[in-house]
Amino acid sequence: MDYIQNTPEDVAEMLRAVGASSIDDLFASIPADLRLTRPLDLPPALSEQDLVAHLETLAARNRVFEPTRSFLGAGGYNHFIPSVVDALASRGEFFSAYTPYQAEASQGTLQHIFEFQSMICELTGMEVANASHYDGATALQEAVAMSIDHTGRRKIVLSSALHPHARAVVRSIFRAMDVQIVEVAHVRGVTPVATLREAAQDAACVAIQNPNFLGGVEDLAGVAEAAHAAGAVAVASVHPLALAILKSPGEAGCDIAVGDAQPLGIPLSFGGPWCGFIAARRDFLREMPGRIVGETVDAEGKRGFVLTLQTREQHIRREKASSNICTNQALMALRATIYMEALGPSGMRRAAELCARRAHELAAKLARVPGVKLPYSAPFFHEFVAEIPHAAQTLARLQERGFLGGLFLHPFYRDLREHVLLCATERHAPEDLDAFVAALAECLR
């Protein structure tokens, strides 16, 4: 039974209205060799009870690790979420990811978006931020598009220490758009600024991640200077919690900052939904995708919020737009907003300091395990690379002992054959680190 039922008379009336003689006429623009002429290969429908039982069977195959026994990061991070985040974000009036279309009638939604924008600007050291993105990777892609629009150039430079999935998104979007993509290889875990400087000639932007995918803290100021010397835009993908203790991209001279707000009160949830953010200098205001909420007063002088700019939406400059973001991750942005407001600057700084402390304690303990090496010397925040004998097999043995050990890097970097990316956060107590190190040492015997 169809979900939406249309009688043959309904179908005939709709076809007459659009000037088509049959349903097939609606798909005439699709080449015949690309059209599926058989029914979809789907199993028969299940009753609700049978479907629930099937899903419960699938869910039972998941293996859940205790938060204190997971040392996996690589883009999704296991941070503590204060209970106030769930309590407020689950209120019925907020429980939608959709942007309100009678925007000014939704003052609560506009206010939290305004506060999200304001705090993202404060964190990144930028002047404008929009109402959020789907995730950090799409925010990076939009920043690259802004750079192309801003400079009129068709070449972009990416650091190989950017998250591999984010680079894949950028390559996918620009593959058919006559854009040259140049990747600069990392050297011992960081991006060489001199190589970036050379590659940046005639480029629209230089995009880098800080801390990068391998954990290293990059020379953001050097990257920004190299990009600007070549007339390119400096784009930084950043970890928002790390900004509580690291120099912001704005302070370093970058033009656009992007990232994923997942570390700010958003659970891992099998990889989503998360929330991307994008912030920039005022010069890029008109090129920024999505919507910007502003603060004003009404006719009686009362404080209020309005959708101020939506320069690339579906009803403004549509024919010139290179992006069209209609729906953002408003509920996830709300969670990030509540998290940042609950912790405040001092609380976020405390959480970030704990992350860095635990990660450096873990690295020091691992360095004393026979056979384990720390190949890179660059400063790091809460992730670092370790070289471990028989890395893939060792991670599997750790899982048998109840530890999620980290990411095996060889599938992403062919020259890193026995390397893993490890992460520690404020959720790990010193005894958790000791237990993990002891388990690893046991696996290597």
Q: At what angle do helices 330-367 and 430-444 cross, to 10 degrees?
A: 60
CA dist., res. 21 & res. 354, Å (int): 67
CA-closest candidate to residue 250, choices 337, 352, 122, 434? 122
Q: Cα–Cα distance between 146 and 172 in angstroms, integer?
A: 17
> Is-contact 87 278, C-beta < 8 A?
no
CB of 250 within 8 A of CB of 234? no
Do strands 383-387 and 419-423 pair parallel, antiparallel, or not at all (unpaired)? antiparallel
- Tens of pLDDT along 100-131? 667 777 888 899 999 999 999 999 999 999 98
- The answer to whether the pTM exceeds 0.75 is yes
pLDDT digits (tens, 9 = 90+) for 6-37: 889 999 999 999 999 999 899 999 998 998 88
pLDDT of residue 64: 87
Q: Is 205 helix (H, G, I), strand (E, B) or coil?
A: strand
d(CA 363, CA 420): 12
pLDDT digits (tens, 9 = 90+) for 363-387: 999 999 999 999 999 999 999 999 9
The single residue listed with the structure tokens 């502003």 is 294
Instruction: Identify whether 430 is preceded by a cis peptide bond (ω within 30 of 0).
Output: no
**Token pair 């290969």: residue:** 41
pLDDT at 1 over 50: no
pLDDT in the model for residue 56: 97
- Distance between CA atoms of 114 and 92, rounded to whole angstroms? 20
pLDDT of res. 217: 98
Name the β-bridge partners of 180.
Answer: 155
Model pLDDT for residues 254-273, shown as the tens digit of each residue? 999 999 999 999 999 888 89
